[in-house]
Amino acid sequence: MVSSTVVELSRWQFAITAIFHMTFPALTVGLSVLLAVVYTVYVRTGNPLYLQIFRFWRKIFAVGFGLGVVAGTVMTFEFGLNWGIYAHAVGPVVGVTIGMEVITAFFLEAGFIGLMLYGDGRIRPRTMALASWMVAIGTLLSTTWILSANSWMQDPVGYRKADGQFQAEDWISILFNPAFAHRFPHMLLAVLISAAWFVGGISAWYLVKNRVNAQPMARRCLSIALGVLGVLMPVQLYVGDGTAVFMGGHQPAKLQAFEGNWESDNNGYNLLVVPDTDRGENAFHVGIPYLGSVIAQDLSGETKTPGLLQTPPDERPDMWATFYGFRAMYFTALIMFGTAFAGLVLRMRRRLFDSPRFLRWMVWMTPAGIIAITGGWITAEAGRQPWVVYGQLRTADAVSHLNTFEVAGSLAGFVLLYGALLAIWARYIVRTVKAGPEAPPTGPATPDVSEALVA
Amino acid sequence: MLEYVSYALVLFSLAMYVVLDGYDLGVGMLSLAARPERRRQYSEIVATAWDANESWIILAGVVLWAGLPGAYAVVLPSVYLPLIVMLISIILRGLGLEMQSAAGGYRRGWALLFGGASLATTLCQGLILGTVLTGPAQRDGTFQGAAFGWFSLYSVLCALGLVAVHLLAGAAWLQDKTEGWSRSGARRTGRFLLLVTAAMAVVLGLTLRSADPQQFHLGQPTRAVFFWLAVAGAAGACAVAWHAFGRRPDWRPFAAVAALIVCGLLGLVAVSVPVVVPPALTVHQAASPHSSELFLVLGVGLSMPFVLAYNIYAWQSFRGKYTAPVESPLPPLRDRAQPPTASHERTGTPRTIMRRTLLIVLGTAAVGVSQDVFGGVADWIDPIGVAVLCCTALAAWITGDRRDERAGYFDATTGAETRS
């Protein structure tokens, strides 16, 4: 039997590599769509502003995409490296889905990214627009397949178990499993929204700093970002609510954990909890009375939120991760909604580009989408534990026969490397943003001071 | 039958990977020995295609997982450490490459990182290949060996051999892509690497028997025929490459090296099939159930022509000698003489306070609606309410955007002073 240390270390390793990987698609999927749209507009209208926008965001997209690709390569092999038993059991289902992702989506992105990044002067603008769209379609398709594979693990259907393997019986129901119907739109909106915050935040920074060269681009991008957010945020809250209700029905333990109750006697809504897992109670909690009942659509305040004690002890997820992952996602989402709404009001009042306080707030919101996505995935994955395939295969039974030294060593390697990579990436973004967009030849008479930073 | 098709798909992806990423890695390693001004050019040559080339190893890994999960589950844990180091090296290599390309000038650190990580990646791949060929310890379809089971004289030799192969592919690619090397220089380097590769191939082929005595016998005539055909093909490719290095046409050495690699792989398959992982794990034992194989083969098989088509298209766009990218300068932006005047209102008046209070109430109510907070009301208000909210937002945004465009917010302000 594999020692529990190996299981724990492998879980940490997977969690860290997955979160790190997720940071990049969270930006690049949305950015690729933005790039494709602005380049198409450039081809159609000939307005050089859109070319400037394209070239500027392409710089940030390129490095993010490259890092996303290599971090994704790690994920592909990690299934077999640390989770050999799992890989053998679900290969016929999840392996095939991810295989389809690689051949239809990954190759599409990777095949056209070279043209998109280095094609200037070699291919015609129309071909460039086509390449940009292919990259965008590739990233969207990739999201679709991955969500299908992951949702199947959340709510497995359409299979038969034989010889310890899951064998596919009905591919349609496997690919379009019930959880996919809720989680895919949720995730698709999430990646678009998080890229919009990123673009909007950086554009707001240019406006706050009053960078003359960047003003038209920054206003244009801020307008696009806030428009996207104004439309998508309400939908996202609605879809997210549907996902939570669905999960509450299919994985009761997850709902019990992310609402932060042990006993099923609370009609309030918990804002903060300090769970004591051994004793099965909260050492401390702050809540709003009656709100839990209201959220459960009972205005009389009688409805109680189910607690984690309803689930047998060996099937309980960790309340810390699930509860705070959910809170990180949900509270950020509310703030995002409020900000998008405020942006819309300012726009209607013609004050959008002249509201320093709002713009400064937008700069702070730059990473909001990434934080929410990370929190959401922590809820989804930690809340599914102790199962890796919900109700069918336990995480502890899925680990390869490795010794502690190997897993600990590789975990340390990944932590160090990823820490350094995040720092390098953040520094690169800061530098690129400070350097600003490419200036047109007959730009403003006053040269931009920070132009000197361009290496 | 289908399991053989997915095995063939794995081999095809692997061959594509070794040929395509082989030259990437080779160019990376060669850049370590190149002069600094040349290094930047080398990494730019790789940068246009490495994403696509790298995809093939991901495809190989995933098809192995989906089509032959038994093999995937045994091989990966058995080469845990070299594979992890390979993945880390691939990350560092991608980082060095992208950062150097994005930094816009030559950066010694990134260039060295790119070269060094290419070398480390190749060494790890060689160790993995050696381990798989000698057969990892296994029982009941799972890996049961030790953490350093992959370390053996044979796997180290394999690593060196793979370095030679990738260097050879890199040198051939450079002859095709650059004007930098003189003909005689290309010939010397290419022929030297070719000799090393051939010597390593002979040594590895002969010692394979002693490394793993139970497999790889050439007793059956069909097997022997295919094996010797592959060897003959490899020898022919060697001869062509020997002749072509340093001579026009410049694409020929790379074609010969690619043929050499493919023949080598086919030779290995000829002696081992139907065993996927020595000593005894066969294609049949490792395969997925029929339904999965069918879906995989159809899905991947039908997509493959498209994948090849656009990869060839992308490759065509960059064919010929490498030239520095010619990015046309940005045309001047549209102008606007007057900066837009902002309407400045006094704040703090009772009107402002009332307006803000109303807005906050309105905002909270909107959040409430979209969040189902109103209980039973939600049943009818939900989809319609959300749709109305979205459409209002969209309409407001489009109107506002048009208005701002007319007002000239998105145009450059020539000579205008910065508003404070």
Does A121 touch chain B if contact means CB atoms closer than 8 Å?
yes
Q: What is the DSSP string of B247-288?
A: SSSTTHHHHHHHHHHHHHHHHHHHHHTTEEETTTEEHHHHPP
Size of interface A-B (CB pairs under 8 A): 373
pLDDT (mean) for A318-337: 88
Quote the pLDDT of residue A30.
Answer: 92
B66–A210 CB contact, under 8 Å: no
For chain A, the C-alpha Rg in angstroms (whole number) is 23
- The pTM for the full model equals 0.85
Ranges assigned E (strand) in B331-410? 335-336
Cα(B322)–Cα(B339) distance, rounded to whole angstroms?
Answer: 45
**Is a pLDDT exceeding 90 seen at residue A35?**
yes
**Least Cα separation, residue A387 to chain B (angstroms):** 19
> Is A337's CB within 8 Å of B142's CB?
no
Q: Are B105 and B44 in contact (CB under 8 A)?
A: no
Query: Considering chain A, what is the average pLDDT of its residues?
Result: 84
Under DSSP, the state recorded for A446 is: S
Does position A305 have pLDDT exceeding 50, yes or no? Answer: yes
Q: Is the pLDDT of residue B213 over 70?
A: no
Cβ neighbours of A178 (radius 10 Å): 16
Q: Which two tokens stand for residue A152?
A: 């199947």
Confidence class for position B212, pLDDT limits 50, 70, 90:
low
Cα–Cα nearest to A308, from A363, A254, A231, A236:
A254
| Structural Rg of chain B based on CA atoms | 30
Provide the pLDDT confidence category of residue B372 given band limits of 50, 70 and 90: low
A188 has a chain B CB within 8 A of its CB: no
Alpha-carbon distance of A209 to B206, in angstroms, equals 69
Closest-CA residue to B210 (of B154, B256, B158, B257) = B154
Across the interface, whether the CB atoms of B329 and A338 are under 8 A apart is answered no
Question: B375 and chain A: CB distance < 8 Å anywhere?
Answer: yes
Is pLDDT above 70 for B307? yes
**Cα(B86)–Cα(B256) distance, integer angstroms:** 27
B81-84: long-range contacts, CB 8 A cutoff, minimum separation 24: B81/A406, B81/A409, B81/A410, B81/B147, B81/B148, B81/B150, B82/B124, B82/B127, B82/B128, B82/B131, B82/B150, B83/A77, B83/A81, B83/B124, B83/B128, B84/A81, B84/A410, B84/A413
Interface test with B, best of A103, A142, A169 (most B CBs within 10 A): A103
* Record: contact A400-B77, CB cut-off 8 A: yes
In 3D, which of A367, A366, A374, A375 has the Cα closest to residue A328? A375
Q: Is the peptide bond before A367 cis (omega within 30 degrees of 0)?
A: no
pLDDT the model gives residue A205: 92
Largest Cα–Cα separation, chain A: 75
Task: Report A:30-59 residues touching B (Cβ under 8 A).
Answer: 47-49, 51-52, 55, 59
Q: For residues B390 and B219, which has the higher predicted lDDT (pLDDT)?
A: B390
Asked if residues A267 and A290 have their Cβ atoms less than 8 Å apart, the reply is yes
The tokens for B186 are: 């290309």
Q: Is the pLDDT of residue A2 over 70?
A: no
A66 in Cβ contact with A44 (< 8 Å):
no
Tens of pLDDT, residue by residue over B45-78, are: 888 778 788 888 888 888 888 888 888 888 888 8
pLDDT in the model for residue B341:
56
Q: Which of A413, A435, A431, A430 is nearest to A74 (CA)?
A: A413
B318/A49 Cβ within 8 A: no
- Between CA B217 and CA B208 the distance in angstroms is 11
pLDDT cut 90: percent of chain A above it = 20
The answer to whether residue A318 scores a pLDDT higher than 70 is yes
- Asked if A301 is an interface residue toward chain B (Cβ–Cβ < 8 A), one would say no
Flag whether pLDDT at B420 surpasses 80: no
> Chain B residues with CB inside 8 Å of A168's CB?
289, 291-292, 295
Task: For residue B66, give the nearest of A96, A104, A443 by CB distance.
Answer: A96
B142 to chain A: which residues are within 8 Å by CB?
84-85, 88, 400-401
pLDDT score of A37 more than 90: yes
Residue pair A415/A409 in contact (Cβ under 8 Å)? The answer is no
pLDDT tens sequence across B160-171: 988 988 888 888
Distance from CA of A277 to the nearest CA of B (A): 30
CA count, 13 A, side-chain hemisphere, B232: 6
Supply the pLDDT for residue B181: 66
Task: State the complex-level ipTM.
Answer: 0.80
Angle at B50 between CA B241 and CA A430, to 5 degrees: 150
Give the whole-number percent of chain A exceeding pLDDT 70: 94
Cα separation of B58 and B46, whole Å? 18
pLDDT of residue A447: 44
Lowest model confidence (mean pLDDT) among A314-323, A436-445, B16-25: A436-445
Enumerate the β-bridge partners of residue A387.
A394
Mapping DSSP onto H, E and C, the string for A125-170 reads HHHHHHHHHHHHHHHHHHHHHHHHHHHHHHCCCCEEEECCEEEECC
Contact A321, A382 (CB under 8 A): yes
Examine the pLDDT at B174 and tell me if it is beyond 70: yes
Contact A103 B59 (CB under 8 A): yes
Exposure of A442 in the CB half-sphere (CA atoms within 13 A): 10
Between A29-38, A179-188, B241-250, B297-306, the lowest mean confidence (pLDDT) is in: B241-250
pLDDT, position B52: 81
For chain B, the straight-line distance linking the first and the last C-alpha, in angstroms and rounded, comes to 75
pLDDT(B415) > 50: no
* pLDDT mean over B352-362: 81
Asked if residue A194 has pLDDT above 90, the reply is yes
Question: Rounded mean pLDDT of A236-259?
Answer: 83
Under an 8 A CB cutoff, do A85 and B142 touch? yes
Q: How far is CA B342 from the centre of its chain?
A: 50
Contact criterion met (CB < 8 Å) for B77 and A216: no
Q: Looking at A49-58, A84-93, A135-144, B363-372, which range is the least confident one?
A: B363-372
Does pLDDT of B379 surpass 70?
Answer: no
> How many C-beta atoms lie closer than 10 Å to residue B188's C-beta?
14
Check residue A279 and give its pLDDT: 76
Q: What is the Cα–Cα distance from B262 to B15, expressed in whole angstroms?
A: 6
CA distance A42 to A35: 10
Note which residues in 358-417 of chain A have CB less than 8 A from chain B.
400-403, 405-406, 409-410, 413-414, 417
pLDDT band at A73 (very low <50, low <70, confident <90, very high): confident
**Confidence band of B122 (pLDDT split at 50, 70, 90):** very high
Mean pLDDT over A68-92 rounds to: 83
Higher pLDDT, A439 or B210: A439
Residue-level pLDDT at A454: 41
Over the stretch A350-364, which tens digit does the pLDDT of each residue have?
888 888 889 999 999
* pLDDT at residue B337, rounded to an integer: 56
Average pLDDT over residues A293-319: 74
DSSP structural state of residue A276: E
What confidence tier does B413 reach under pLDDT thresholds 50, 70, 90? low
Q: Which residues contact A155 (CB under 8 A, 6 or more apart)?
A: A177, A178, A179, A250, A251, A390
Give the number of C-alpha atoms closer than 13 A to the C-alpha of residue A105, restricted to the C-beta side. Answer: 21
Distance (Å) of CA A427 to CA A31, A311, B43: 19, 46, 22
Q: Greater confidence, A22 or B141? A: A22
Whether B54 contacts chain A with CB within 8 A: yes
Count CB neighbours of B147 within 10 A.
17
pLDDT (average), residues B19-27: 88
Say if residue A410's pLDDT is above 90. no
Instruction: Decide: A16 and A411 in contact? Cβ < 8 Å.
Output: yes
- Hey, what are A240's tokens? 């997210």
Judged against a pLDDT cut of 90, whether residue A382 lies above it is answered with no
Nearest Cβ partner for A77 among B47, B76, B403: B76
List the single residue in B51, B288, B390 with the smallest CB-CB distance to A114: B51
Q: What is the pLDDT of residue A33?
A: 94
* DSSP sequence for B35-93: -HHHHHHHHHHHHTTHHHHHHHHHHHHHHHHHH-HHHHHHHHHHTHHHHHHHHHHHHHH
Cβ neighbours for B399, distance < 8 A, ≥ 6 positions apart: none
pLDDT of residue A178: 86
Query: b/e for A374-383, b at 16 or more Cβ within 10 A?
Result: bbbbbbbbbb
Residue B321: pLDDT above 60? Answer: yes
Please tell me if residue B397 touches chain A, with a CB cutoff of 8 Å.
yes
Report chain A residues whose CB lies below 8 A from the CB of B13: none
Residues of B in contact with A400 (CB under 8 A): 73, 76-77, 80, 142-143
pLDDT mean across residues, chain B: 79
pLDDT higher than 50, residue B418: no
Instruction: Report whether pLDDT(A39) > 90.
Output: yes
Give mean pLDDT, residues A414-420.
90
Query: B386, A98: Cβ pair inside 8 Å?
Result: no
pLDDT at residue B381 in the model: 63
Give the separation between CA B352 and CA B349, rounded to whole angstroms. 5
Confidence (pLDDT) at A127: 87
**Cβ(A436)–Cβ(A447) below 8 Å:** no
Q: A422-452 b/e with 16+ CB inside 10 Å = b? A: eeebeebbeebbebbbbbbeebbeeebeeee
Residue A133: predicted pLDDT: 93
Cβ-Cβ contacts under 8 Å, A341 against chain B: 363, 366-367
Using an 8 Å CB-CB cutoff, list chain A residues near B51: 65-66, 69, 109-110, 113-114
Arithmetic mean of pLDDT, B232-243: 87
For residue B373, the model assigns a pLDDT of 53
A447 touches chain B (CB under 8 A): no
- Asked if residues A65 and A114 have their Cβ atoms less than 8 Å apart, the reply is no
What is the pLDDT at residue B104? 60
pLDDT value of residue A93:
87
Q: What is the DSSP string of A199-217?
A: HHHHHHHHHHHT-TTTHHH
Whether the CB of B2 is below 8 Å from some CB of chain A: the reply is no
